[in-house]
């Protein structure tokens, strides 16, 4: 009975410890994923006038598969089916259906009034002029969005204040905290300090 009691006590101590070790290992793999994706973003910027990619914050799920997201835009640099797009802690079917576990935050910022108002003011004369095709106008719109969003990220003094990519859900508990992992402007990765409302936190830098 004493031996059984000791075993029960040890199990009570070891099981949570093993769970924590496994959680830390999964978080480390997630951070490695983000680091690899950061290299792909950097490669894109090198060949595109140093502008950030303009993609939806999450791919749109269609009958043909996910579309219009960062994995599709960076497919020439990193396969959109690469394991790097999936956080090893992500077991949510809805999340996995998008083809990525990570939110592309510039894809949210592009729809902020601080971006869309000046873009609309610049695009309206082109539309009224009628000399450009719809595709050319859309290209102009995307280029302007990319310039404004890139300026937002590159103008800050603290490169770790705003993330570029982040876990789309809380998946990495640390004690009583449950932060999301993120990729930052300088290529560094780590837990986002406060992710209660990532979108609002990002947009406040425009103010």
Select from 105, 95, 119, 88 the least CA-distant residue to 41: 105
Indicate the average pLDDT of the chain: 85
What is the spatial distance between Cα 101 and Cα 57, in angstroms, rounded to a whole number? 11
User: Which two tokens mark 120?
Assistant: 């609309």
pLDDT at 51 over 70: yes
User: pLDDT at position 176, please?
Assistant: 64
**pLDDT for the residue numbered 3:** 60
According to the model, what pLDDT value does residue 132 have?
87
Whether this prediction's pTM lies above 0.85 is answered by no
pLDDT digits (tens, 9 = 90+) for 91-119: 999 999 999 999 999 999 999 999 999 99
Pairing of strands 65-67, 102-104: unpaired
Question: Which tokens go with 97?
Answer: 């259906």
Torsions phi, psi for 72 (to 5 deg): -75, -40
Give the domain range for residue 100: 2-206
* pLDDT per residue as tens digits for the range 65-82: 999 999 999 999 999 999
CA angle 105, 34, 156 (to 5 degrees): 50
Which residues, in sequence order, are CB contacts of 174 under 8 Å at separation 6+? 191
**Is a pLDDT exceeding 80 seen at residue 12?**
no
As a whole number of angstroms, the distance between CA 101 and CA 93 comes to 11
pLDDT at residue 7 greater than cutoff 60: no
Domain count within the chain: 1
19 pLDDT band (50/70/90 cuts)? very low
In contact, 167 and 101? CB cutoff 8 Å: yes
Between 53 and 20, residue with greater pLDDT: 53
The string of pLDDT tens digits covering residues 159-196 is 888 899 999 999 888 766 678 999 998 999 999 876 44
């Amino acid at each position: 009975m004493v031996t059984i009691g000791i075993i029960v006590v040890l199990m009570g101590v070891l099981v949570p410890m093993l769970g924590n070790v496994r959680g830390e290992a999964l978080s480390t793999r997630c951070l490695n994923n983000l680091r690899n994706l950061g290299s792909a973003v950097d490669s894109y910027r090198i060949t595109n006038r140093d502008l950030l990619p303009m993609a939806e914050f999450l791919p749109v799920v269609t009958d043909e598969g996910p579309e219009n997201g960062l994995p599709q835009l960076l497919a020439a640099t990193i396969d959109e089916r690469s394991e790097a797009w999936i956080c090893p802690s992500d077991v949510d079917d809805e999340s996995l259906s998008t083809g990525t576990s990570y939110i592309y935050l510039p894809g949210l910022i592009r729809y902020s009034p601080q971006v869309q108002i000046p873009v609309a003011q610049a695009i309206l004369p082109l539309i009224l002029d009628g000399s450009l095709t719809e595709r050319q106008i859309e290209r102009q719109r995307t280029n302007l969005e990319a310039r404004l969003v890139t300026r937002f990220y590159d103008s800050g003094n603290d490169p770790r204040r705003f993330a570029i990519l982040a876990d789309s859900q809380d998946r990495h508990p640390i004690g009583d905290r449950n932060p999301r992992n993120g990729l930052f402007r300088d290529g560094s990765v780590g837990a986002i300090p406060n992710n209660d409302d990532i979108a609002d936190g990002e947009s406040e830098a425009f103010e």
